[in-house]
Amino acid sequence: MAAEVRVGTGIEIPPVDEGRRWVVGAVITDGRGRAFAQRRAPHRRIFPDSWDIVGGHVEAGETVLEALGREIAEETGWALTEVVADLGSLVWTPDDGIERFEVDYLVRVEGDLDAPALEWDRHTEFAWVGDDQLDLLADRNDPTHTFVADIVALGLTLSSDLGHRGS
């Protein structure tokens, strides 16, 4: 990351321990009551053709904060400027059998929010989703899987509560 990233008061960024597979996620809001989501390509091994927040795996030698900034830059072209709120953590194991330790944050970014630079081979479209559109984020393959909608809803609520004006 080129610039210093601010981390809000009371937000703890966990250290990466080598024995775990870490994943980071970012809810990015636009200051108009909407959050950024992108659809994973149908050929993706995990959650194909599903809506997702920005994020991915922490690479060897990276911190959680470095991975968050890298994933945001790679998936949108935007630059991480601030970690605004902790949205929680979870442990999950997809069908590949590898357990993941995920941490998610509400963040601010710099860049043209109207023109994300998607990784078109990995994501097929994007949307700015408001509270009234969370059903769009339901997993097509398993409508009971509401994690993305739930984490976006939490991010939108906290963004509103904190008076977050977007990026």
Sign, CA dihedral 131-36-127-24, equals: negative
Which CATH number, 3.30.2350.10, 3.40.50.2300, 3.40.50.11540, 3.90.79.10, labels domain 6-161?
3.90.79.10
- Show me where the domains of the chain are located: 6-161
* Residue 97's pLDDT band (cuts 50, 70, 90): confident
Strand order in the sheet with 34-40: 51-52, 34-40, 123-130
Confidence of residue 1 (pLDDT cuts 50, 70, 90): very low
Q: What is the CA radius of gyration of the chain?
A: 15
Q: Supply the pTM of this predicted model.
A: 0.91
Q: What's the rounded Cα separation, in Å, for the pair 51 and 140? A: 9
CA distance 135 to 125: 16
Q: Are 2 and 110 in contact (CB under 8 A)?
A: no
Give the residue-averaged pLDDT of 86-113. 92
> What are the angstrom distances between the C-alpha of 158 and each of 11, 15, 22, 57, 153?
14, 24, 24, 24, 9
Q: Is the model's pLDDT at 118 over the cut of 60?
A: yes
130 forms bridges with which residues in the sheet? Answer: 34
State the Cα torsion 89-127-131-32 to the nearest 10°.
100
For the segment 18-38, the average pLDDT, to the nearest whole number, is: 94
**b or e along 46-83 (b: 16 or more beta carbons within 10 Å of the residue's beta carbon)?**
ebeebbbbbbbebeeebebbbbbbbbbbebbebbbbbb
Q: Is the pLDDT of residue 114 over 70?
A: yes
Q: Which two tokens stand for residue 161?
A: 């509560």
